[in-house]
Chains A and B, each alone.
Chain A
Amino acid sequence: MNAETIVEKINSAIRDKIQEIALTAPRRVQLKVAREQLNAVLTYLKEQFGFTHVGTISGVDLGENFEVVYHMSNDIATVNVRILTPRSEPKIPSICAVIPGAILYERELQDMFGLVVENIPDPRPLLLADDWPAGQYPLRKDWHYERPAEIIPGGE
């Protein structure tokens, strides 16, 4: 089996669940799905081709939308499964039921992009400080760091 046969099989078996599919580079498959179909597609990939390993989950701020890319790998190829979620309602489904190892990446997405991961088993913040102000999401494009004014003890 190789990446081409994976694309063919996905196209014939779950055509109704995916939006776009392309083979962009050797061993790299790009797959676009609706967010409602994400878990169904990942389950299919896991059961049919053994895509059990999620490399990481990348969030990208596209302005009006957030793009979330799930990098699924097995021993022959990597499938980049992407979903879009609007900035006004940034909700994504949790994939921990299918891939338990995704939990830290989902918590990271919640911290950095303010995405709401539905049904996440452990919603606590992962990376940001305990006293981090609410509603500040550092990896959004409209967030800029401003260094606080320096206060010298005793004036001057």
Chain B
Amino acid sequence: MEFKVALGPQHPALHEPISLRMTLEGEIIRDADLKLGYNHRGIEKLAESRTFIQNLYLTERICGICSFSHQTCYTQGVEKLMELVPARRGLYIRTLICELERVHSHLLWLGVAGQEAGFESFFMYTWRDREVVMDILDWITGNRVHYSMNTFGGVRRDIDELQKKKILDTLGLLKTRTEYYLNIGASEPTFANRLAGVGKLSKEKAIALCAVGPTLRASGVPMDVRKDDPYAVYDEIPFEVATADSCDVLGRAVVRVKELLESYKIIEFLLKNLPEGPFKVKAPRKVKENEVYSRYEAPRGENVHYIKSNGSDKPERLKVRAPTLANYAATIAMLKNGFIADIPLIFAAIDPCICCAERLVQLDNPRSGESKVLSFSQLRAMANDRYKKINFKKKDSAWPF
């Protein structure tokens, strides 16, 4: 017998609520369907009536975690339209904040993965460390979430020697703690076992469904915009693209931990090679008629802005595609033939800009229409209960480090 289960759609605190409708056979998901647009804000329409400068602060507000990704993607696009060469020191500082943002976003994700897997002390540890990065960002930009650091031609604030020294000192702490997390995975086999084999997405499917970011890289495709289409100063920085071949949630965790360690290296390189000179150059107000396709590797994957100008001080069209949208098609493929208890984990694994699974309606008896509402915490408890019953010694998944 088949059941229909609705997950979502709304959570007032989140900016991207979606609704998932699933067809179940027992505990196995046979089909899944998405409905988006519960909080569509019309930013693309609004951007057409704002000047390029005003849109800097509008695009930043697309996302609350990767705000700098959207702003940088937009800024570097408009700089190309203006035929403006940004100040080199400005580009270094911009890249530094990009990487700091990646660090705080990945630490946030690790915590969420730990929580969904029922490993809540891991969640508290990573979020404690995330505060360290947030404090650095607060200290060098003045803000914790919307940094407002970008401007056409560079950045708005310089960083001084004291700030440089403090960031380098803190990096040591973050590195030690991230390495400790690697060992946690090795010494805590239940964590690796809970993540292994969940949310399978084959390499062919990931490519066909145009997945992006860690989701794609965990399926063994080394696509990273920072390498394929270098922006800012990434063509000067030595770093490696992290990939995994396990095609599951464990692989996605591995990719993110590896990326954290790469990010620390990048930050260290940037600070040690920070060039002297001005941190911004003057930009024109009007933009010639042209168009640009700007790509950016956000923490969640490839972020895309398509900007068309018409010769005035306002854009003709601004098209934004955030990485989460690109991963939805792949998420449906991951959910199919998975367990209902794995929904929170699979959904969290694409690091969506949502935690909309606030409530779950379970139709106990479709004929009489009697229904039962489960809260998200109850659902998670159900998932944890289920996995407590499994004999993990039989499964024996190895932590890959």
Whether the pair B210, A53 counts as a contact (CB closer than 8 A) is yes
Contact with A along B36-61 (1 / 0, CB 8 A): 11001010110000000000000000
B217 within 8 A of A: no
Chain B residues with CB under 8 Å of A104's CB are 36, 325, 328-329
Contact with B along A110-140 (1 / 0, CB 8 A): 0000000000000000111100000000110
Cα distance, A139 to B318, chains bound together (Å): 11
**A55 (CB) vs chain B CBs: closest residue:** B304
Given A80-B293, A101-B211, A104-B329, does the pair A56, B304 have CB atoms closer than 8 Å? Answer: yes
Chain A residues with CB under 8 Å of B36's CB are 104, 126-127
Chain B residues with CB under 8 Å of A27's CB are 229
Whether the pair A78, B229 counts as a contact (CB closer than 8 A) is yes
Whether the pair A58, B317 counts as a contact (CB closer than 8 A) is yes
Q: How far is the CB of A110 from chain B (nearest CB, A)?
A: 13
B295 within 8 A of A: yes
Cα distance, A128 to B37, chains bound together (Å): 6
Whether the pair A54, B210 counts as a contact (CB closer than 8 A) is yes
B319 within 8 A of A: yes
Whether the pair A53, B37 counts as a contact (CB closer than 8 A) is no
B239 within 8 A of A: no
Interface segment among A8-16, A37-45, A67-75: the answer is A67-75
Q: How far is the CB of B9 from chain A (nearest CB, A)?
A: 11
B351 within 8 A of A: no
Contact with A along B286-330 (1 / 0, CB 8 A): 000000110100000010101010000000110101000110111
Whether the pair B319, A56 counts as a contact (CB closer than 8 A) is yes
Q: How far is the CB of A107 from chain B (nearest CB, A)?
A: 9
Partner of B293, one of A53, A55, A100: A55
Chain A residues with CB under 8 Å of B228's CB are 73-76
Q: How far is the CB of B336 from chain A (nearest CB, A)?
A: 14
Chain B residues with CB under 8 Å of A53's CB are 207, 210, 223
Q: How many residues of A contact B (CB 8 A)?
A: 34
Whether the pair A71, B329 counts as a contact (CB closer than 8 A) is no
Q: How far is the CB of A138 from chain B (nearest CB, A)?
A: 6
Q: How far is the CB of B226 from chain A (nearest CB, A)?
A: 12
| A58, A76, A99: most-surrounded residue (chain B CB, <10 A) | A58
Contact size range, B: 20 to 34
Chain A facing B: main interface SS? mixed
Chain B residues with CB under 8 Å of A103's CB are 329
Q: Which residues of chain B from 202 to 230 have any CB-CB distance to chain A below 8 Å in the complex?
A: 207-211, 223, 227-229
A60 within 8 A of B: yes
Q: How far is the CB of B81 from chain A (nearest CB, A)?
A: 11
Q: How far is the CB of A151 from chain B (nearest CB, A)?
A: 22
Chain B residues with CB under 8 Å of A73's CB are 228-229, 295, 302
B80 within 8 A of A: yes
Cα distance, A90 to B304, chains bound together (Å): 25
**B37 (CB) vs chain A CBs: closest residue:** A127
**A124 (CB) vs chain B CBs: closest residue:** B35
Given A60-B317, A75-B223, A101-B329, does the pair A69, B306 have CB atoms closer than 8 Å? Answer: yes
Contact with A along B211-255 (1 / 0, CB 8 A): 100000000000100011100000000000000000000000000
Whether the pair A145, B325 counts as a contact (CB closer than 8 A) is no
Cα distance, A52 to B210, chains bound together (Å): 7
Q: Which residues of chain B from 318 to 364 have any CB-CB distance to chain A below 8 Å in the complex?
A: 319, 321, 325-326, 328-330
The 8 A-B residue pairs with the shortest CB-CB distance, nearest first, are A101-B210, A127-B37, A56-B321, A58-B319, A101-B209, A58-B306, A55-B304, A75-B228
Residues on A facing B (Cβ under 8 Å): 25, 27-28, 52-56, 58-61, 69, 71, 73-76, 78, 80, 99-105, 126-129, 138-139, 145
A-B contact pairs, 18 of them (CB 8 A): A25-B80, A25-B292, A52-B207, A54-B210, A55-B293, A56-B326, A59-B319, A60-B308, A73-B302, A78-B293, A80-B293, A100-B208, A100-B209, A101-B210, A101-B330, A104-B328, A139-B45, A145-B45
Knowing that A28-B293, A56-B319, A127-B40 are A-B contacts, what are 12 other residue pairs whose CB atoms are under 8 Å apart, sorted by A's residue number? A25-B292, A54-B210, A55-B304, A71-B293, A71-B306, A73-B229, A75-B223, A75-B227, A101-B209, A101-B329, A102-B210, A103-B329
